[in-house]
Structure 1
Amino acid sequence: MPEHRTRRRVRGAAAALAAVALAGAALTGCTSGTDAAPGRTGSAPSPSPTPLWNASPGSVAAVGDSITRGFDACSVLADCPEVSWATGTDDGVRSLAVRLLGASRAASHSWNHAESGARIAQLPEQMALAAKDRPELVTVMIGANDACRDSVPLMTPVKDFRASFEASMRQLRSAAPKAQVYVSSVPDLKRLWSTGRENPLGKQIWKLGICRSMLGDADDMGPAAIARRDAVRERVVAYNGVLRDVCARDERCRYDGGAVFDYRFTGEQLSEWDWFHPGRNGQARLAEIAYRAVTAAGPPA
């Protein structure tokens, strides 16, 4: 065979082998690095996405009502924010902020914007204040005062409750798009009535006007009184449905799954002044519930 013809065939075979090698490399590049054979270079594994929920936030802002202000936990008809379940500094309570940040850091990296007597309509303004703190976590406990009115017809309509909570979340997201939100369910007011009515002193305080829709005529067990209390409870259940549903649409929001509503407060956990609001012990239980929800691997069922 002539020499020049041999060289052409060698060059052709080499080109074919090179094409096969390139095709193999291309196929290897389409697979993940874990599928490549040992010693062969494949594409690097895709980095894991950053989780949207951080179980160790570095700062906490609280919004809500009298429960988050520690109302009646230290003295009669007065706020006591140092025992707040969300941001308090009391050693016996060990607030959510203390549990997450430690006592010293919690004092400088937590803020309480809740107001005693606040209803859901005031939440957007509180959210705006909380956003200015640039918190990594915002806690929300609101709705008891929307059900605790002088009469059942005065309770906040469910559609208005929804509109206000949606507006609150929009307000927060416009200023703090990455802040996480922990939303507590509204406590079962009927269960609090059932427990608190065992205390004569508490019932005297109730007569000053605390939550008349539920606590008025506390010992009346007639059909009208029973129907009134049931209507309040049903409204609270509806409010909690709104909190759950609206929160579920926000990827950085976590509802407590009804844990606070389901919690069976005893006389030991209620205020010694009004037997309705949580006392120090009750505030500590709320802090425990919140801490479990915030640090869990996933949202409560």
Structure 2
Amino acid sequence: MAPPDGPGRQDGGLTTGEVARRLGVAPTTVRSWDRRYGLGPRLRTGGTHRRWTAADLARLERMCELTTTGLPPSEAARLAREQASPDAGRAPEQSGAKGPGARTGVRPGGLRQEGRGLARAALRLDPGALDELLDTVIADHGLVTAWTEVIMPTLQAVGRKWGRTGEKYVEVEHFLSWHVVGALRRSAPTAPSVRPGATALLACVPGENHELPLEVLAAALAERGVPIRMFGAALPVEALVEAVHRTGPVAVGLWAQSRASASRPLARHVAAMEWGVRGARTRPVVLTLGPGWAGQTVPGLPHPSGLAEAVTAVRSVVGVTE
């Protein structure tokens, strides 16, 4: 891929696929804007192959910004063609673009290029483009890096926009989160066979409904061949205890997003559970996962600081190595 701020590979321009990833749209959308609105590249190689320059990309970025405000695509394309600079006429109300439901954008300036594309696709509520971009970033970087460096910062950028301005981006957050879960499950390989005494049980503690980070951990472990049983959000105490008794996991990961949901007594209770024949009893290694445990970790129980550390810790306990 070309450098994020450069005109393209070896100064020859970007391909349509590269442009689409930067903008957060499907390649078919880029081609459609070329065909319908005359926003195509000025450089073509071999007669039909499109190569997009920095100026071409700036026009398309302006097109995305204007359509995000609710402006019809044809009008947005006209303004994008007329404005020589992507910063010219930035405020949509100056061109009469202000309208019902208008948005000013997430402005994900601190994100990697892939994150900017994800943010734009999420803001437009474009499912096809979002799925394609998520699948690409996971395939290109692997699950742990894709989550840590691209997906999570994008989710945080949307959340900061909502908190800073009061604009209700709840639907964008929910939309993006739902598609992230879908991408995680598409990327995860078929679960390996569960071997007795060599599986990990993952669950959110009772009252904890923020399960997305635990979904990421489950997918990352599956990607590395770790047998897991995933129980998701807000597993009641009785159900958690029964699941541990029935499956005999070697590791139990308890996720807590907030301090209000983290429970030291519960973690201690699960860590003290035993099974097996008398004289050869086994206990699980309980890992306290998530920011809810910060400042109230349980002595003797591992508390990985992030996703990569959690993957390493679970794999070590389960006994799965490279």
- TM-score grouping bracket, smaller chain normalisation: under 0.3
Q: Report the TM-score when normalising by structure 1.
A: 0.27
Q: Report the TM-score when normalising by structure 2.
A: 0.26
| Greater relative contact order structure (CA < 8 Å, 6+ sep) | 1
Give the number of the structure whose alpha-carbon radius of gyration is greater: 1
